[in-house]
Amino acid sequence: MQQEAVSCRMSGAAGEPGAPGAITLEDLDSMAEEQSPDSAYHSNGCSQDDDAEQERLLSYWQSVGRGHQVDVPRDMAEPIQQLTRNNQHQERESIPFTLIHRKEKFGEVLYEKRQYGKAKWACIKMQEEQYEQSICLGFMKLMKYICEQNSSGLYLGMTIPIVTLVHTNETHSEITRSVTVAYYLPELLQEQPPQPYDSDIIIEEWPPTVVYTRSFRGVTNEDSIMREINFLAELLESPELCLQNIFIVAGYTNPAAANRHNEIWFLQRP
């Protein structure tokens, strides 16, 4: 993950409500909260109830998508339904790391230095007209892989954070259009990851990596990401020890939330 030759690293970003943005796993949280105990999720499993639930969930996602100027195709109905059901019953597995150092000032955590181990990730490169569209379309492809469209035929389980690898231009003034969306394979699947049916998704093994990371709250868009990159660069004693044009945005909470939790990651050079 430290080498620029490694094409994929880590995503989850969304724009402000009403602006172009990404639909992510976390949008399902608010949908789950809206469902009543009498909803199809708690039904006896007959196909009529399943169909009704699937249509309701798809309609919800399409409504969210329209608000973000993103189309959610009908073939996403089944993956959305699976992810919603499993999201209510299973805790999301966090990506393991070792904390090396924490820099604080007046009780505030300025940044952390962490060690992430070697791991396998499902990655997809996207290059849409808008950054948020790339994130959305990439995540929907990964959703299908997670939701049974893989060689095991099983639901794989969600992990957090969902991460996005972003590049900056030569002047470090803006993010380039090309992004990579990536999903950390759960620990039980690390040795033998199921293969995706979608040839655009690549399983990659990333080497052990040291990252410098800072949390931030609120929206994740081109402006906020560049602001956080510049802010963390100012805080680090030796930012030149990190890669200068590759960064990671990690998303942990519902992008529709007003105070969502994100992180910006700098990758230490080998």
- Total number of domains constituting the chain: 1
Do 267 and 248 form a contact (C-beta atoms < 8 A)?
Answer: yes
Residue 3 — very low, low, confident or very high, per pLDDT cuts 50/70/90?
A: very low
Name 232's Cβ contacts closer than 8 Å, sequence gap at least 6: 111, 212, 214, 239, 264, 266
pLDDT in tens, 144-186: 999 999 999 999 998 999 899 999 988 878 999 899 999 999 9
Whether residue 75 lies inside any domain: the answer is no
DSSP 152: T
Burial class (CB in 10 A: 0-12, 13-18, 19+), 86: middle
Quick check: bond before 37 cis, omega within 30? no
Which one, of 142, 23, 148, 34, lies nearest residue 88 by Cα?
A: 34
pLDDT in tens, 68-96: 667 888 888 888 888 777 776 567 899 99
CA distance 33 to 37: 10
Query: Which residues lie across from 116 on neighbouring strands?
Result: 209
pLDDT of residue 43: 37
Q: What is the CATH number of the domain that holds 103?
A: 3.20.80.10
Whether residue 169 lies inside any domain: the answer is yes
| Domain hosting residue 176, numbered range | 92-268
Whether residue 63 lies inside any domain: the answer is no
Whether residue 223 lies inside any domain: the answer is yes
Which one, of 20, 12, 214, 18, lies nearest residue 113 by Cα?
A: 214
Do 12 and 139 form a contact (C-beta atoms < 8 A)?
Answer: yes
Whether residue 34 lies inside any domain: the answer is no
pLDDT of residue 109: 95
Neighbours of 209 (CB within 10 A): 23
Give the pTM.
0.78
Do 27 and 254 form a contact (C-beta atoms < 8 A)?
Answer: yes
